[in-house]
């Protein structure tokens, strides 16, 4: 698939998967999923060193990715299946009884590509720190990536992990933040303002990069730059300016589509805005 | 078998004394030397947890987490992904209540091979008072699916348990404490997770004890023996999974049971035993445990007495349950 389709084509297909999955389950989180689609497709199809056909928990010799804001599982499941971790047909079981595609990512059902449960926010950066330290102990020079919501940064544990990564010079770790300025109850600035995020991360000792999270060329630049900055004694964070609901006009830029499903009419409207270059599941 | 029952008072007083946390520290050091996958994390209590020896011997495998326990638990979960066997160390309060969600999601639900090692449990923490004397941790930990819950009784058993849990695949909660206690379990006895130690054989009343209160139960058994009451004493070092057969075998013989633990009645060993007995063999029972109360400052001995957790309390409850079993019969 990655050989025959371009990243923008896969992005469009993944966005179709997201709205169809959430519609099919009558629940789920389309807003953040759509906003992180460009980044995750770019990361999984163009950046990470992976072996999807032979998934192993330890991921030895591979790059690792941890989704800390587990509620955007639709985009992750779509990207994982489109990348070859499991059959795309399984996307149709999202959130249904007996599925491996639980509402929030889990390891219990054995879905390939997932190494820790997430959903209760704020834990993924710490888990990634541990996984990165294990890679160092094992002499494995591949990298560890994470994704966090900006609202998630209100969790105190994130900042515990931020201190820890700096203290222990975890320089094989690239954290990324979906900086869309929205959370369930409204704009982050109204709910619990995050202030000057780049300055906050820098003050915690991190190397800070920013990017337009929907500009694939800019994402290419920042991900390459981040990689050149690894191995220098400092953890790296990429703050990605994004729009919640990106790619579907009536969902874009509002917190209202954080966690609700489109009805039949809204689904048809959404799909009419998104070509299906790869083919629906 | 009944050496502890018949040992002279002089010999009993001459037993060497050490704290269970030192057994953990020694076991961890030995593990570090024998198993290169063992790593350790500590939240600014390295001296209190006796983890210095491991840190000095294996600085590359020791991670200081600072006063940030939530992060420490999730980092430990991450370390398992690369095949490591992390042992986290802090007080029991900060190992459980403070980090319950991290243990629940990152460790237990994700089936991560983390060993949560918790010192300074219960009222025998002493003078620091109730903020630090957690009495709810066994309940919280045993409710988590997949969690193995262990509470050892002396230095030697804690040393052996520390080494044994490294070979067990899956999350473990290991609870131990601060005060120096007599060492009464045999040196180098094999520690089998889930298998009760039958410490004293008797036939009038079963005493099922865990942790520091196993020693109190030994003293109680000796006092009762002098009065002609014969105690069948089980040391339940593994609260989950519980050695159901050992408990049933004893209760079939005695028909009366007393549980003893440094924990709330709610959620503790007594509750687990009551569940087993109510399903398999309803039996007159009494619980020696803290009765819906927080602790307070004091010496360990004062607190064990005040909260009815000492040998005298176990004797009282044994007599009470024997009385009750006559009425029931």
- Interface residue A14 vs chain B (CB under 8 A): no
Kindly state the percentage of chain B with pLDDT values over 70: 99
Round to whole Å and give the CA distance between B133 and B116.
17
B36-78 confidence digits (pLDDT tens)? 999 999 999 999 999 999 999 999 999 999 999 999 999 999 9
- Mean pLDDT computed over every residue of chain A: 97
Cβ–Cβ < 8 Å for B232, B253: yes
- Mean pLDDT computed over every residue of chain B: 97
Mutate to test the interface with B, among A71, A111, A126 (most CBs of B within 10 A): A126
pLDDT at A114 over 90: yes
CB contact under 8 A, A106 and B109: yes
In what side-by-side order are the strands of the sheet with A64-67? A64-67, A144-149, A173-179, A236-241, A207-212
CB contact under 8 A, B81 and A129: no
> Residues of A with CB below 8 A from B82's CB?
58, 60, 130-131, 133-135, 137-138, 140
pLDDT at A276 over 90: yes
pLDDT at A79 over 80: yes
Kindly state the percentage of chain B with pLDDT values over 90: 98
Mean per-residue pLDDT, A70-89? 98
Mean per-residue pLDDT, A53-57? 97
Catalytic annotation, pick one of B55, B69, B136, B156:
B69
Mean per-residue pLDDT, A223-251? 98
CB contact under 8 A, B74 and A130: yes
A3-35 exposure pattern, b = at least 16 Cβ within 10 A, e = fewer = eebebebbbbbbbbbbbbbbbbbeebbbbbbbb
CA dihedral B303, B307, B313, B319 (to 10 degrees): 180
Distance from CA of A227 to the nearest CA of B (A): 21
B305-318 confidence digits (pLDDT tens)? 999 999 999 999 99
Mean per-residue pLDDT, B152-167? 98
Mean per-residue pLDDT, B131-146? 97
Q: Which residue, among A1, A152, A150, A5, has the nearest Cα to A80 in the 3D structure?
A: A1
pLDDT at A2 over 80: no
Round to whole Å and give the CA distance between A151 and A191.
9
Residue in A131, A156, A157 closest to B82 by CB = A131
Cβ–Cβ < 8 Å for A241, A177: no
CB contact under 8 A, A127 and B77: yes
Q: Closest chain A residue to B41 measured between Cα atoms? A: A130
Whether B296 is a known active-site residue: answer: no
Residue B105's pLDDT band, with cuts at 50, 70 and 90, is very high
Residue keyed to tokens 């994700």: B110
CB contact under 8 A, A138 and B63: no
CA dihedral B233, B234, B239, B242 (to 10 degrees): -130
Note the pTM of the prediction, 2 decimals. Answer: 0.97
Q: What is the pLDDT of residue A1?
A: 46
> Residues of A with CB below 8 A from B102's CB?
123, 126, 157
* Domains defined along chain A, listed by start: 7-272 (3.40.50.970)
Q: What is the pLDDT of residue A4?
A: 86
Q: Coil, helix or strand for A50?
A: coil
> Residues of B with CB below 8 A from A115's CB?
81, 110
Residue in B39, B70, B112 closest to A157 by CB = B70
Mean per-residue pLDDT, B13-42? 98
> Residues of A with CB below 8 A from B78's CB?
116, 126-134
Give the DSSP letter of residue B104.
I
CB contact under 8 A, A157 and B86: no
Residue in B39, B65, B78 closest to A127 by CB = B78
pLDDT at A187 over 70: yes
The length of chain A in residues reads 281
CB contact under 8 A, B75 and A130: yes
Q: What is the pLDDT of residue B186?
A: 93
Residue A154's pLDDT band, with cuts at 50, 70 and 90, is very high
Residue in A123, A134, A167 closest to B83 by CB = A134
Residue in A115, A120, A161 closest to B101 by CB = A120
Q: What is the pLDDT of residue B109?
A: 98
Q: Closest chain B residue to A139 measured between Cα atoms? A: B82
Residue in A120, A123, A138 closest to B82 by CB = A138
Residue A3's pLDDT band, with cuts at 50, 70 and 90, is low
* Chain B contacts to A (CB-CB under 8 A): 39, 60-61, 63-66, 68, 70-84, 86, 101-102, 104-106, 109-112
Task: List helix spans (H) across chain A.
Answer: 7-25, 30-35, 37-42, 73-82, 124-137, 156-167, 188-192, 197-203, 216-229, 264-272
> Residues of A with CB below 8 A from B60's CB?
137
Residue B277's pLDDT band, with cuts at 50, 70 and 90, is very high
Mutate to test the interface with A, among B40, B62, B63, B75 (most CBs of A within 10 A): B75
* Domains defined along chain B, listed by start: 18-182 (3.40.50.970), 194-328 (3.40.50.920)
CB contact under 8 A, A168 and B63: yes
Mean per-residue pLDDT, B237-259? 98
> Residues of A with CB below 8 A from B79's CB?
130-131, 133-134
Distance between start and end Cα atoms, chain B: 30
A136-147 confidence digits (pLDDT tens)? 999 999 999 999
Q: What is the pLDDT of residue A185?
A: 94
The length of chain B in residues reads 329
Q: Give the A:B interface size as CB pairs under 8 Å.
A: 121
Q: What is the pLDDT of residue B326?
A: 85
């Amino acid at each position: 698939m990655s050989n025959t389709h371009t990243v923008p084509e896969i992005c469009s297909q993944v966005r179709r998967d997201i709205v169809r999955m959430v519609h099919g389950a009558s629940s789920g989180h389309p807003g953040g999923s759509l906003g992180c689609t460009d980044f995750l497709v770019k990361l999984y199809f163009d950046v990470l060193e992976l072996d999807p056909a032979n998934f192993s928990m330890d991921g030895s010799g591979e790059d690792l990715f941890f989704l800390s804001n587990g509620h955007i599982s639709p985009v992750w499941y779509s990207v994982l299946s489109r990348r070859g971790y499991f059959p795309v047909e399984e996307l149709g079981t999202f959130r249904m009884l007996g599925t491996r595609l639980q509402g929030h990512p889990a390891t219990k059902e054995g879905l390939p590509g997932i190494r820790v449960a997430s959903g209760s926010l704020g834990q993924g950066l710490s888990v990634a720190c541990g996984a990165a330290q294990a890679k160092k102990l094992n002499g494995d020079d591949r990298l560890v990536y994470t994704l966090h919501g900006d609202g998630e940064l209100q969790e105190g544990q994130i900042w515990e992990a931020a201190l820890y990564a700096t203290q222990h010079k975890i320089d094989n770790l690239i954290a990324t933040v979906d900086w869309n300025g929205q959370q369930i109850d409204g704009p982050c600035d109204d709910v619990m303002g995050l202030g000057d995020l780049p300055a906050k991360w820098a003050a915690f000792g991190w190397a800070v990069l920013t990017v337009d999270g929907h500009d694939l060329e800019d994402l290419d630049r920042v991900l390459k730059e981040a990689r050149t900055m690894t191995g220098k004694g400092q953890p790296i964070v990429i703050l990605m300016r994004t729009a919640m609901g990106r790619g579907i006009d009536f969902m874009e830029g509002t917190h209202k589509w954080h966690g609700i499903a489109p009805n039949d009419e809204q689904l048809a409207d959404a799909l009419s805005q998104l070509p299906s270059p790869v083919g629906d599941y | 078998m009944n050496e502890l029952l018949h040992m002279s008072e002089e010999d009993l007083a001459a037993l060497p004394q050490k704290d269970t946390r030192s057994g953990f520290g020694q076991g961890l050091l030995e593990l570090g030397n024998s198993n290169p996958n063992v790593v350790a994390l500590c939240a600014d209590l390295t001296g209190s947890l006796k983890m210095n020896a491991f840190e000095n011997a294996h600085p590359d495998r020791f991670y200081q987490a600072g006063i940030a326990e939530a992060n420490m638990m999730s980092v430990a979960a991450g370390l398992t992904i690369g095949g490591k066997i992390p042992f986290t160390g802090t007080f029991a309060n900060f190992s459980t209540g403070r980090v319950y969600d991290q243990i629940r999601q990152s460790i237990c639900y994700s089936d991560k091979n983390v060993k949560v090692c918790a010192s300074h449990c219960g009222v025998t923490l002493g003078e620091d008072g109730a903020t630090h004397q957690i009495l709810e941790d066994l309940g919280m930990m045993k409710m988590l699916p997949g969690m193995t819950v262990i509470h050892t009784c002396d230095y030697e058993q804690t040393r052996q348990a520390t080494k044994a849990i490294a070979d067990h695949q899956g999350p473990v909660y290991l609870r131990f404490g601060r005060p120096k206690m007599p060492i009464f379990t045999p040196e180098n006895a094999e520690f089998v997770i889930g298998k009760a130690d039958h410490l004293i054989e008797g036939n009038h009343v079963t005493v099922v004890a865990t942790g520091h209160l196993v020693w109190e139960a030994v003293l109680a058994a000796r006092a009762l023996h002098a009065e002609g009451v014969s105690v069948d004493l089980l040391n339940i070092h593994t609260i989950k999974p519980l050695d159901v057969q050992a408990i049933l075998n004893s209760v079939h013989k005695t028909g009366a049971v007393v549980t003893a633990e440094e924990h709330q009645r709610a959620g503790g060993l007594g509750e687990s035993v009551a569940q087993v007995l109510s399903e398999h063999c309803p039996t007159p029972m009494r619980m020696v445990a803290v009765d819906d109360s927080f602790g307070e400052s004091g010496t360990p001995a004062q607190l064990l007495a005040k909260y009815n957790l000492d040998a005298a309390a176990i004797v009282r409850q044994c007599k009470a349950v024997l009385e009750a079993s006559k009425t029931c019969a």
